[in-house]
Structure 1
Amino acid sequence: MTAKLFKKLFGVFVFVFTFLVAPVNLAAEPFYLSYTYPGSIGFFKLKEIPKKAKVVVKAGNREYTFPVLSEKAYFVIPYGSKGKVFVTLYEDGKEKDRRVIKVARKKYRVSRIWVKEPKKYPPELLKRIKEEQKLLRTIFSQVTPKKFSETFLRRPLKKLRVSTPFGAKRIINGKKRSVHWGTDFRAPLGAPVYAALSGKVVLARELYFTGKTVIIDHGLGIHTLYAHLSKITVKEGQFVKAGQLIGKVGSTGRSTGPHLHFGFYVSSVRADPMLVLKSRL
């Protein structure tokens, strides 16, 4: 199948799919959502950039807010969502469009790994970890003007071979830990890593858990993360284009072997990178 034919068929699929998600308002905005699994990304297509707009996703007892700065109002169906999720577009505090989405069920595998770690973290290391976690929260919460023009995500590696998927339940050294918030791709040491979208490098340094790490701000609350690199080839503050070399595969930080950990975030909400790679932006 040619790329041109694929995009044409994909467009037909998205057009048909929009009618499977029930709109509450009769005057509904164009709406795109390729999948209804937890971690899926979607957006409302607006006629113009609205003022004081936001998308609110209500899943269970929690609400997730996605600020709107462009004619595309992005959102994510959060991990852990079950049953029905309500996606509402607001402008000037008024509800303009609301969709009711039935979340598709998805089973998540259990990932068991063994890594070297101290029996007790010394105070200086705990301080470093807390400072790095705070830094990441600050970065992912930033919503800046749009920096990309692509409508599909580029592959961060030439070949994508998943070793640990998004949402896997982690058991580290025999103990239950957090969920795996990205996708791990197997790759040889030194394999080139590419930017998935155009944007500004907002972090390019070594962190305790993720090793040599690059984070790119693509605007509109969208960020991508590339972790465990052996080498970083970009600098903080640098603007990169989609497909540009940003580093090389490694096993730095808390890692059991050469691979790329790839994360995708929208206003701090984690999305499933594999679903995003197959979705229209």
Structure 2
Amino acid sequence: MEVKKLKFVSIWFILLCWISLAFAKVKITCPTQVSQGDVFEVVFDYSDTVDALWIEYDKKVLTLPLNKKGQTKVLLGMNIGEQKIKVLKIFYLEKDIIKKERYEISPIIKRFAVQYLTLPKKMVYFDSYTLKRIQKEKKELNFILTRITPYQLLNKIIRPVQGKVISPFGVKRVLNGNIRSYHRGVDFRAKLNTPIRSFSKGKVVLIKEMFFGGNTVVVDHGLGVYSLYMHLNRFKVKKGQIVQAGQIIGLAGKTGRATGPHLHFGLFVLGRAVNPIPLFKSN
């Protein structure tokens, strides 16, 4: 009787140990292939035995916030011209032991369209004063978009406006016969004063009238993710304000370098522009 009881206890103890190990491991959902320029989502599921979780990607380190639900999501991006396999390193702390996992993500080579545009000369060729303004605004934007704030506000993701895409991400633009850089956002058709909504929850970090973007809003969603809204006719938020997913942040317009009313929407991850369309398809 004692032998049977001891055997039963041993089996039960082994079973409990196996269950605790199974739940202790961090489960990672990550794509193995991503198209050049696209954004992608990585999902981490973990047990309450995990005390800390951080990742290294594109030479950046992100500490991910843990929660009672046991699940954390993060947005990352594949560089538009990436040719090599990208490596995502995951680290997590469990019972004072650091554990590490490594994932490889291959770029899917993508051919981007070429767009030929003819604009008034004043929209293409600039005097020295205007060039100085353009450079100053570019530096200001880059300073904001390359910062990595430690909080994570990103939750539900929505399309900022329901209009048709009139200029996709990554298109190579030729203005008045001169080759320019690729399109770092997506242009959506939107009638004048159409409500423009926040892509997700975040903090408004810039409201400004800019030369190219006209009335511009930038929202920080945390962990290096920013959304950008250009050519607005009117602002509906203030700098420093926390906005919810779907909240109206402005009205569509044609301010800045624009020939007609539309929304230029940009998504930036770890300082790089990425194509947001895959997120709208999955949501």
Q: Report the CA distance between 1:252 and its aligned residue.
A: 1.1
Q: Cα offset for 1:172?
A: 1.1
Aligned residues: 243
- Root-mean-square deviation (CA), in Å? 2.4
Taking structure 2 as the reference length, what is the TM-score of the superposition? 0.77
| Residue in structure 1 matched with residue 203 of structure 2 by the alignment | 200
1:218-255 Cα deviation digits (max 9, x unpaired): 11111100111111111111111111111111111111
Partners of 1:100 and 1:40 in 2: CA distance:
15
Residues 78-227 of structure 1 aligned to structure 2 (within 5 Å)? 78-82=79-83, 84-90=85-91, 96-118=100-122, 121-144=126-149, 145-150=151-156, 153-157=157-161, 159-227=162-230
Change (3 A) 1:274 1:34: farther
> SS at 1:278's partner residue?
helix
Deviations 1:95-146 (A, max 9, x none): 8222222322322111122223447533332222121111111111222211
TM-score by length of 1: 0.78
Q: Which moves more between the two structures, 240-249 or 120-129? A: 120-129
1:268 is matched with which residue? 271
What is the aligned partner in structure 2 of residue 23 from structure 1?
none
Offset, 1:80: 1.2
> How far apart, CA to CA, are the structure 2 residues paired with 1:184 and 1:240?
22
How far the C-alpha of 1:42 sits from its partner, in A, is 2.4
Shift of 1:160: 3.3
Structure 2 counterpart of 1:204, which letter?
A: I
Residue 120 of structure 2 aligns to a residue whose secondary structure is: coil
CA distance in 2, matches of 1:65, 1:204: 27
List alignment gaps of at least 5 residues for structure 1: 1-26, 58-63
Q: Which moved more, 1:217-226 or 1:101-110?
A: 101-110
Unaligned runs of 5+ in 2: 1-24, 66-71
Give the whole-Å Cα distance in 2 for the aligned partners of 1:270 and 1:55.
Answer: 19
How far apart in 2 are the matches of 1:117 and 1:206?
Answer: 21
Cα pair 2:26 2:44 within 8 Å, conserved: no
Equivalent position of 1:244 in the other structure: 247
- Separation in structure 1 between the aligned mates of residue 255 and residue 99 of structure 2, nearest angstrom: 47
Q: Is the aligned partner of 1:45 residue 2:50?
A: no
SS of aligned partner of 1:147: coil
Q: Is the 8 A contact 1:55 1:75 kept in 2?
A: no
**Structure ID, larger Rg:** 2
- The percent of aligned pairs where both chains have the same amino acid is 34
